[in-house]
Amino acid sequence: MIKKIKRKDNEEYKQIKSLIRTDNVNLLKFMNKDEIEWLNKHFKFINGLLMGDVKREEKKYIQFVDTIRNKKDPKTVEEKAYFKFTKYYEDQIKKSKLELTDPNILYNGVEIYPAGSRPAGPDVNNADREYDDDYW
């Protein structure tokens, strides 16, 4: 049984999806052509599973989501292929000067430190944070 929740197409999803191509030389360093084609075909479904937009009750999907979200050792071919893509994407982030609004998007779309729960204190460097004009 598939339950679909209304999905918003955001720019980060589109940007990530555009990277999944067999002519992407950098991606070919991490994945083979068959894995890229599989991921390209199933990325919207996988992303929906991980974001909670698509609900599936079959054990293989529950296990897939658990493995990816908790960064466990992949066991199935699909888990291994997706893990290779996450390694590629993390490598691209390291090489990039861009700062993503959601660096955790490939796992579950939940920000690591959402607004209101960011760490604070004498050991935390707040110099790079932007505050609203009405910050007290």
User: Count of alpha carbons within 13 Å of 106, Cβ hemisphere only?
Assistant: 23
- The CA radius of gyration of the chain, in Å to the nearest whole number, is 17
pLDDT tens-digit profile of 18-55?
889 999 999 999 999 999 999 999 998 988 888 888 88
* Residues 36/21, Cβ–Cβ less than 8 Å: yes
Residues 100, 71: Cα–Cα separation, whole Å = 20
pTM of the model: 0.64
The single-letter code of the amino acid at 36 is I
Q: Which residues contact 129 (CB under 8 A, 6 or more apart)?
A: 118
How many residues would you count in the chain?
A: 136
pLDDT tens-digit profile of 62-82?
899 888 888 889 999 999 999
pLDDT tens-digit profile of 85-127?
999 988 888 887 655 555 566 665 555 566 666 666 677 665 5
